[in-house]
Structure 1
């Protein structure tokens, strides 16, 4: 459960959020930022109680056994020697070696700036 879900499940907090933001589409990030300044002790209580796992509950529930098996099979296909060599060759094409042996990225993605 996320901090936003904790806020919305608590009746008094939910009432304060709905008064502030109305009954339209709520942005969880904006609600959390506002609630942090509105009621810091309660916000930190909710944050501490919220689950902070790397895999979300929705993703874990949505993946079937067949999908998981398919992903594992794909991973096995790409872990063979031929695929590994192809990926290393591609990586070498995108990098160049400096005199000190440090890797410098030659091709630059503009969206990373």
Structure 2
């Protein structure tokens, strides 16, 4: 059984990310920053900069966690909302459950 986030639900082009960053509303959590644009196609993207960690292995691990958190919780999000999650520097030191809690807190701010 394939439980990956389908390609048609991922933001992949730089222009898609740029659109969400420029037109999206911004919500900050303890470890995450969320940009969201309603009326989109319901896609998701994760960004982890080199400021968070110089090691690509660590950055990719955080991105995998963020994609999984989105995939398992996308049913509580409004349909047709494009979302970009930017990991903040503290995201390296926390476990999956803490990231998921922060994701829920940011979603409450954004979609309440």
State the TM-score bracket (shorter-chain normalisation).
under 0.3
Higher strand share: 2
State the structure with more CA Rg: 1
Bigger relative contact order (CA 8 A; separation at least 6): 2
TM-score norm. by structure 1 comes to 0.22
TM-score norm. by structure 2 comes to 0.22
